[in-house]
Amino acid sequence: MYAVVEVKGKQYRAEKGASIRVDRMDGEKGQTVTLDSVLLVSGETVKVGAPYVSGASVKAVIADQAKADKIIVFKYKPKKDYRRKHGHRQSYTLLQVEDILGA
C-alpha cells in the first residue's frame, strides 16, 4: 500500500516504513507530523482525490533535520571577463512514514 502526498507544493510517494526527504518543515527530531493533503491512496482499490482524498492522511515522524550536499553554481561569459561562483546547501527534513490512514 502506498499514497501520494503533497508537501509544500511537491508530490512524494509514501509507503509504510519508508523514508521521505522533503523540503524543510518546522518541528524537532522525533515529533509526529500528519500530512493531510493526500492525492492518491493505493490499497485493495485505488482512491484518487479531486484534488485530495477526503478522510485520508499520512502519519510520519521527523527523523532528521539536515542540509544536503553543497552544489556550486558557476556562471561565466566567454571573452567578457565575467565570472560568478556561488554555493548553495538546501535544507531538508527526513520523514519516516509510520502509517497511511483512510485507505
pLDDT digits (tens, 9 = 90+) for 17-29: 999 999 999 999 9
Query: What domain range is 51 assigned to?
Result: 2-101
pTM: 0.83
Count of domains in the chain?
1
Q: Where are the beta strands (DSSP E) in 8-102?
A: 10-15, 19-23, 32-35, 38-42, 46-48, 57-67, 71-77, 82-88, 91-101
Residue 103 pLDDT > 70:
no
